[in-house]
Structure 1
Amino acid sequence: MADDLPPLWFPPMSSDDSSDSSILFFQNLIEEAELQDTGTSNRRRYIERQREEGHETLMADYFVEDPKYNEDIFRHMFRMSKRLFLQIVSDVEENDPWFVEAPDARGRKGFTPLQKVTSAIKQLATGNTPDENDEYLHMAERTSRECLEYFCDTVCKIYGPEFLRRPTNHRYPTIMLEAVASQDLWFWHAFAGPPGSQNDINVLQQSPLFLTERNGTAPKCPFYVNNHLYKRGYLLVDGIYPSWSVFVKSIPYPHEVNEKKFKRQHEAARKDVERAFGVLKGKWGVLSRPMRARSVKKIRNVVYTCIILHNMILKDDGKAIAPVHIRDPPVEPALDDTVLGELLNEDTHWRLKHDLIDHLASQDLPHLLADSDED
């Protein structure tokens, strides 16, 4: 007990110090030591949070026949419709026994699934600390943290195969045409590997972006540009990436009009992707806050959950790019030694870039013409 107490500091005494002030000083030290001892020893103070009142308040605010807050306010607070929220509550309760209401060790009723899911979604929406809703949901910080962890893990298991899937052969031809039409883009699963593996050039050869190409399980998406056939789709990247056949880089200093058009369109398309992630961060505040206190697995589950919920909301609102998911037939992985050479082919990289420049120049795009004239 004595080892846990902070060292005492005695102020220098003078003849003018009164005995009353000295007594008051030591009383304050004793009170501070008792408070610290209360927080670190087995004699911690128990707080009766009245979880039943929290459930009743939540029901009266949103889920009774005539709630305090209407559907618009509910969507603003929970980022989704009440119909979708209740469906998620039902699904997680059915698939994870942790969300089932059960009595605690004292025989009292535990938190309801509504309280647990509400705590998790509010943490995702605001990005605030787990104890933020203690006064509203009557839930301790530790329980709120567990709600978020169990919720993210369960959502990824239930909805991941549908809402965190890769594009298929059926969707590749039209995915980009449909995606750029809306700012609320559908997020496709393209970064399932280790953190940083898609941006570190030293490990690009083993990146999940290209591993499926090498083992023959990637969807087929051939296309023609200027009567030239290209077997794989391409990625818009900046100048730091190597000159691979699947990378299309911008032109740093364009001189010709066609090159200026290409640079303008290239930058606009990349900004669409950045804007899409800005929409995701604006909807789920947890993505804008530091998450260093969590493990890599928990951080990944949080990010995936935000993407899954985003796609679920789009489908619930009738804005899904692919409301019907047509699966590709299963393909057995078969490593092809020639694929890596095709991915690293610089000749294909430059030919694709020039073909895209010529193709874009042949299109009647007034906004590019105006921008090029101004340049």
Structure 2
Amino acid sequence: MASSSNDNYDESLDEEINDIFQLELDNSLYSYGDPQQARKPRKKRVHIERHREEGHIQLWNDYFAENPTFPPNLFRRRFRMNKPLFMRVVDRLSAEIQFFQQRRDATGRYGFSALQKCTAAIRMLAYGLAVDEYLRIGATTSLKCMEHFVEGIIDCFGDEYLRKPNAEDLQQLLVIGEIRGFPGMMGSIDCTLNDLNILDRSPVFDDILKGRAPKVNYTVNGNDYHLGYYLTDGIYPKWATFIQSISLPQTEKASLFATHQEACRKDVERAFGVLQARFAIVKNPALSWDKVKIGNIMRACLILHNMIVEDERDGYTLYDTTEFEQAESAGSSRVDFTYSTDLPSNIVDMMATRSRIRDPNMHQQLKKDLVEHIWAKYSRN
């Protein structure tokens, strides 16, 4: 009996000592460096049981079941792509990115599925906000899904869909440019910020300077040229690689040239408009992310855009294949496939090439020849 009383006394003494020690420790942690600081109560994290399993089942039944609730056209509208392409993305990310692999937590409960994570990410890119009520994913987790999603898109698909044009791609661009009345045109170029400092830092001409770019040959108005060019607006300098419109045309030739140049150059603005319409996150303010995350979002949206264009290209191609083949055989724009791009570069060659790119006299001559070419091609109509 005495032994039992002693044991109870020892236990109560130990509990009292532990309480005193814990109280002193808490006071020391909360008021360290300021004895007068009042003790602050800890805020408990609010937990919301969202029943993520039900979210996966509903998502599957609505869009991915054998007989889904919503038809393919609504899937295309809400996911910005067709279902086979989206499943290709999900399968690739699930196989190569650990974050998208479904695992059990410490309690043995399955986490969010790859479909839920990828859907949450694509909805954030498409709408610019998280949708937690439907997918049962909180806003913080949705943001995390989106960040891993864009990194995974870049890692898995960037080399294929964000690569530089090769010689075969460049030949197709030249043929399309000649069909539209501009031999030697490689496309249109523009920047969301019209700042020449961006041009100075741009790597667009690095391959040309270092001799790694394919060589282009074409003829305009009877004169031979060996350097491709881009259509631009008036903010860009008068280089041999830039062809601007004529702001105040005084003659019929100049007016016709300005009309065709501006019509072709609208492609790049339309492309960016389509990108903004497809992914609302591109046009929304990006105040909560750093430059690296913003850059990843832009690259991922461009990759997804190129994947969607490749998947749906047959449905809205602008060119008749027979017209393309005729222009390729009869046009003057050619890529010199015999030109070696593996030769070592030196500073002398780089400076000479830089001078050619920025030659204002060549710019004026090329623009004059293009005005005559456009007039000869379209004035009869």
TM-score (norm 1): 0.76
CA displacement at 1:42 relative to structure 2: 3.9
Deviations for 1:141-190, whole angstroms, at most 9, x for unmatched residues? 11100111111011111111111122221122332654899xxxxxx998
Percent sequence identity over matched residues? 36
- Distance change >3 Å, CA 86–CA 202, structure 1 → 2: closer
**How far, CA to CA, are the matches of 2:123 and 2:109 in structure 1?**
25
1:300 aligned partner, one-letter code: G
One-letter identity of the residue aligned with 1:168: N
- Alignment match of 1:353 (pick from 354, 367, 375): 367
> What residue number does 2:83 align with?
82
Structure 2 portions without partners, runs of 5+: 1-25, 31-39, 180-186, 318-336
| Distance of aligned partners of 1:334 and 1:247 in 2 relative to their CA distance in 1, 3 Å threshold | same
Secondary structure at the residue paired with 2:123? helix
Separation in structure 1 between the aligned mates of residue 177 and residue 241 of structure 2, nearest angstrom = 20
Shift of 1:302: 1.1
Would you say 1:317 and 2:312 are equivalent positions? yes
Alignment counterpart, residue 285 of structure 1, candidates 268, 280, 289: 280
Q: 1:332: how far off?
A: 5.8
State the TM-score, normalizing by the size of structure 2.
Answer: 0.75
- Distance in 2 between the 1:147 and 1:351 partners? 53
C-alpha separation between the residues in 2 aligned to 1:281 and 1:225?
36
Q: Please identify runs of 4+ aligned residues in structure 1 that moved more than 6 A.
A: 188-191, 327-330
Alignment pair present for 1:159 and 2:133: no
Aligned residue for 1:209, secondary structure, equals coil
**Partner Cα separation in structure 1 for residue 96 and residue 240 of structure 2:** 44
* CA shift for structure 1 position 67: 1.2
Cα 1:189/1:121, change in 2 over 3 Å: farther
1:99 is aligned with what amino acid?
Answer: F
Counterpart for residue 60 of structure 2: 59
Q: Deviations over 1:183-212 (max 9, x none)?
A: xxxxx9989xxx98x853246344211122
Equivalent AA in structure 2 for residue 140 of structure 1: G
Report the equivalent of 1:266: 261
| 2:342 match | 331
Counterpart of 2:215, as a letter, is: K
Post-superposition CA distance 1:6-40 (Å, at most 9, x none): xxxxxxxxxxxxxxxxxxxxxxxxxxxxxxx99xx
Aligned partner of 2:279: which letter?
W
| Structure 2 Cα separation of the partners of residues 292 and 219 of structure 1 | 40
Q: Shift of the alpha carbon at 1:240?
A: 2.5
Deviation per CA, 1:40-78, whole angstroms, max 9, x where unpaired?
x44122111111111011111111122111111111111
Q: CA deviation at 1:365?
A: 5.6
In angstroms, what is the RMSD of aligned CA positions? 3.0
Matches of 1:138 and 1:105 in 2, distance apart? Answer: 20
Q: Tell me by how many angstroms 1:254 deviates.
A: 1.3
Contact between 1:96 and 1:154, CA under 8 Å: does it hold in 2?
yes
Deviations 1:286-330 (A, max 9, x none): 112111211112111111111211211122224398xxxxx9987
Deviation track 1:209-254 (CA, whole Å, cap 9, x = no partner) reads: 1122111122322221122222221122222322211111221221
1:357 Cα offset (Å): 0.3
- Return closer, same or farther for 1:78/1:179 CA change in 2, 3 Å cut-off: farther
Separation in 1, partners of 2:101, 2:114: 6
Match of 1:172 among 166, 170, 173: 170
